[in-house]
Amino acid sequence: MARIVLQGLRFHAYHGVHPEELRFGAPFVVDLELELDLPEVDELARTVDYGRVYRRVAAIVTGERHRLIESLAHRLARDVLAEEPLVAAVTVRVHKPHAPLPGVVGDVFVEVEHAR
């Protein structure tokens, strides 16, 4: 098994439980780790097209609304496994760097792992 990592995918989106989060939106950062057998030939069709994965993630993060980043992370993981048959397992991290907390926080994120 090998791992393809897409790290630091940044989007402005409208997820959260507070009215101002849904009105103004906030930055979200997504990391994906895709586990798969790498091909022995130099052909894109024999591996994961991470451009296609990026476009799917962007469509979900910016086109859907989730109250919880936990549900967004699960949604992304399920989609990757459904749409990418070569992926055996996926780890998804959804970061909410500007989470509305009563203090200074470097980052808030959730991590989920899904496998076939």
Q: What pLDDT does 35 receive?
A: 98
CA dist., res. 112 & res. 107, Å (int): 16
pTM of the model: 0.93
Look at residue 101 and tell me whether its pLDDT is greater than 90: no
Residue 111 falls inside a structural domain: no
For the chain, first and last CA: distance in Å? Answer: 14
Active-site residue (options: 96, 98, 103, 108): 96
Q: How far is CA 49 from CA 18, 54, 90, 93, in A?
A: 36, 9, 15, 19
Q: 56: domain CATH number?
A: 3.30.1130.10
Residue 28 falls inside a structural domain: yes
Q: What pLDDT does 8 receive?
A: 98
Residue 109 falls inside a structural domain: no
Residues 33-82: tens digit of each pLDDT:
999 998 889 998 889 999 999 999 999 999 999 999 999 999 999 999 99
Cα angle for residues 72, 75, 78 (degrees, 5° grid): 150
Contact 81, 61 (CB under 8 A): no
Q: What pLDDT does 65 receive?
A: 96
Query: Which domain range does residue 25 map to?
Result: 2-101
Our answer to whether residue 65 is catalytic in this structure is no
Helix, strand and coil percent figures for the chain, each rounded to 5: 35, 30, 35
Q: What are phi and psi of 111, to 5 degrees?
A: -125, 130
